Chains A and B, each alone.
Chain A
């Protein structure tokens, strides 16, 4: 097992950047929005009025290290 990891018998071929780009744009945006909602919505900045998102995600924010309040 460790032989195949450290001295692979197969040479890796890079995935073409062209194949990657649309996914990177689509996924990158989606994931950053998700992290924003988990981390800072109704904290430092607020798109949705109220405190429900903040209170619901409260413990996760503290433990994940985002400044919560």
Chain B
């Protein structure tokens, strides 16, 4: 049973990844192209300062090279591959892994969060995971397009990014536990409010205490940065919405048949 749930989770994750890829192609890639054009402009400006102002078109048209330092080298992977097969692979593998993990957590949560059925459990779980894995970390350490972020700080930025995810997931689990504990005394609705506020205050304190990252180069377009970050958020929203709703829909019947006990309130009253 768990094996088939796992397989279904991965399958749903692949479908979610394909949809997220489509979203990323349309809304994300144009911003990456603009960011890379800016990066090349900056590289040109530092290597050959006098002609920098006149190379806009040539740089944008060439568009292919993406180098990390000033020395241009033979490109390892073409821009077309990065934006096509590379992006597809990354997002679909990520989707499958997230879908699989989701299925495992679902298998644990099902029947243990009140009396919620398969679809409600899946939707609620996806919403919680989206808040803890996407929304909260993104508020503190948002996604960055190429040319934003110094290569020297990649280690600390990666560490802080994952730390923020781990803290948010742990805080959410504790908040759910708190809500369940308070539920008997305060009622479900009030208990959820208390736990939710506790979660928000805790996250605010953590985010206030953790170091900020401010590595946006001077003159980098604020509009491109904003659009890139919204595209990243949108992509995750597509991914998690698909996983939460599709997994529940596909799981409901099979799971209820094997792990469901029909509620017959008054069999004689009918």
Interface, chain A (partner B; CB < 8 A): 4-6, 8-15, 17, 19-20, 23-24, 27-28, 30-32, 34-35, 37-40, 43-44, 51-52, 55-69
Contact = CB atoms under 8 A, between A and B. Distances in A.
Interface in B101-145: 101, 103-104, 107-108, 110-112, 115-121, 134, 137-138, 141-145
Contacts of A51: 76
A67 B117 contact: no
Interface stretch (B44-52, B85-93, B183-191, B203-211): B85-93
B111 A12 contact: yes
Contacts of B103: 27
A38 B94 contact: yes
Interface in B23-55: 24, 28-29, 32
Contacts of A13: 111, 259-261
B91 A64 contact: yes
Contacts of B120: 5-6, 8
Interface of B: 1-3, 6, 24, 28-29, 32, 66, 68, 75-77, 81-83, 85-87, 89-91, 93-94, 96-98, 100-101, 103-104, 107-108, 110-112, 115-121, 134, 137-138, 141-146, 149, 151, 154-155, 157-159, 161, 228, 231-232, 235-236, 255-256, 259-263
B112 to A, nearest CB: 5
A59 B76 contact: no
B91 A60 contact: yes
A33 to B, nearest CB: 9
A40 to B, nearest CB: 6
Contacts, number: 190
A51 B193 CA distance: 48
Contacts of A67: 141, 144, 149, 154, 157-158, 161
A63 B103 CA distance: 24
B87 A59 contact: yes
Given A20-B2, A43-B154, A60-B94, A52 B76 contact: yes
Given A28-B101, A68-B144, A69-B68, A12 B94 contact: no
Given A68-B146, A69-B154, A19 B86 contact: no
B117 A65 contact: no
A34 B97 CA distance: 6
Contacts of A66: 158, 161
B24 A63 contact: yes
A8 to B, nearest CB: 4
Contacts of A52: 76-77
17 contacts: A11-B262, A12-B118, A12-B121, A14-B111, A27-B101, A31-B97, A31-B100, A34-B93, A35-B98, A44-B158, A52-B77, A55-B86, A57-B86, A58-B66, A62-B32, A65-B134, A65-B138
A56 B137 contact: no
A7 to B, nearest CB: 9
B115 A11 contact: yes
A65 B94 contact: no
